[in-house]
Amino acid sequence: MRKIFKRIVSVPKKWLAIAAFGAMIAILPASNLLAANVVIEGAIGAANVTAGDTTYQSSINASYDQVVKFQVYYHNRELPDSGLVANNLRVKINIPSSAGTTQTVSTVINGDNTNTINDSATVHLDRSDAYLQYIPGSAVWRHNTGTNASPNLVNTPISDAVVTGSGGLVLENEQPCYNFAATVTVLARVMVPGVQITKQVRVKGTTTWSTTNTANPGDTVQYLISYKNTGNVPESNVTLRDVLPPHMQAVPGSAKIANSTYPSGVDVNTTSVVTGGVNAGTYQPGANAFLIFDAVLPQASDLACGTTAIHNVGIARPQGMSEYYNEAITNVTRTCVTPSAAFQCTQLDVALNGNRKITAHVEYSVSGGASLNNVRYDFGDATTPLLTDQTTVDHTYAQDGNYTIQATLSFNLPNSQTGTSACSKSITITTPTVTPAVTSKTPPTQLPNTGAGDIIGLFTGVSAAGTAAHMVVSRRRRQ
């Protein structure tokens, strides 16, 4: 059915138009042909006129401010000589008013004694906040004011009720035959709300506005919020407000709004500007408004040393729309006297703990933002140096000898700088020689008192031993 709209948008020659109408009957769905005294057929198509479309389609694309043309076709299908007229044939075109990327435009075609035709065409928009708006006075009815034998196609402007009326618009009592087929065309524009907002700043007493400037702590600056309706629809109850950075104060009584109604400006509540905002009124497409007020920058005591970027945000919000914002930046410099960083390894102490064990302890001093990062201990014995953040460590040597211990301290300095300082200490490791202890006996102060029996026994034993020895010697001599 949709192919019936692949026709030239411009007005065709009479007989080409009649031939085009004749081709439609073969492709209209049977579902549209409901039981009635008079059977009619019809459909709706769309063409993006701004984009140069020359045919009507069932689905098209459109974007901001483009004009779309909708064509409704209808035809009394009865035989030319049947005498069956579609009484009070009316057309209703429904154009949605809500925003959305998919816009479905529908039509209802019927008469007092006919079936009812329902059809639709789809327009795809490229923004979710866009919508279609009927262009008043654009409705045109193209129909045959002649006869079946001598058609006379004319374009007649018709009432906007074909779109705006609840029941559409009654057009005619339509005669049967293709020569009496007719169309209704209307135009709709793609409507998109649009907001442009800029935020500018200047030091009070100067004349140049900019989005970025420089100032001193405590200076008074002036902020300017510029709003413009860049859409093609009016924007009402436009709220303008400002978000001040920390440690800033708006100057009471300094806020003014200027627009076409108040070109020299009108006072508004300054506190409202920096809290909930002020209502700047309603603005037609292309109209604008300006809000200006004074504020005091943070004092030096409220700023870090160096340059601080002060971001100030201006906001505009028309009723029913999102917030739009922009910012101005003021660079404020606080000059601070920063002491030079100093660091030093002041002392390395080494305690000998015996068995070749030592304890090393390093001391240091820092100032001006310096801080200890780590310590590298080289014990002078060819072992891998120890890297640690500890200032006291233990170590055991493998053998005796003379060693020089060096502690190299690494420091963190301001501005991501580093520095080192070292201390050293020489030591001698020896293992003491162990001398065995000597035990001595003390002679008795008097002879043991053995008595007579002991002497006799001793003598007897000695004598017996002597005798035995003598016997052994004597025997050896005899042999």
Instruction: Provide the residue-wise pLDDT of the chain in tens; the chain has 479 residues.
Output: 334 334 433 434 433 443 444 444 434 444 344 446 999 999 999 999 999 999 999 999 999 999 999 999 999 999 999 999 999 999 999 999 999 999 999 999 999 999 999 999 999 999 999 999 999 999 999 999 999 999 999 999 999 999 999 999 999 999 999 999 999 999 999 999 999 999 999 999 999 999 999 999 999 999 999 999 999 999 999 999 999 999 999 999 999 999 999 999 999 999 999 999 999 999 999 999 999 999 999 999 999 999 999 999 999 999 988 899 999 999 999 998 777 889 999 999 999 998 899 999 999 999 988 999 999 999 999 999 999 999 999 999 999 999 999 999 999 998 788 999 999 999 999 987 666 665 555 555 554 554 444 433 433 343 433 433 333 333 333 33
3-state SS class at 175? coil
Count of other CB atoms within 10 angstroms of residue 3: 14
Rounded to whole angstroms, the Cα distance separating 168 from 107 reads: 9
Are 236 and 319 a contacting pair, CB within 8 Å?
Answer: yes
Count of other CB atoms within 10 angstroms of residue 190: 23
Rounded to whole angstroms, the Cα distance separating 119 from 186 reads: 16
Which pair of tokens denotes residue 381? 């014995």
Which structural domains are found in the chain, ordered by start? 2-191 (no CATH), 195-334 (2.60.40.740), 342-429 (2.60.40.10)
Please report, for the chain, how many H helices and E strands are present, in that order: 4, 29
Rounded to whole angstroms, the Cα distance separating 56 from 1 reads: 12
Q: Which of 201, 198, 220, 204 is nearest to 212 (CA)?
A: 201
Strands 153-157 and 140-144, how do they pair?
antiparallel
Strands 212-215 and 324-334, how do they pair?
parallel
3-state SS class at 118? strand
Q: Which of 165, 168, 169, 145 is nearest to 155 (CA)?
A: 145
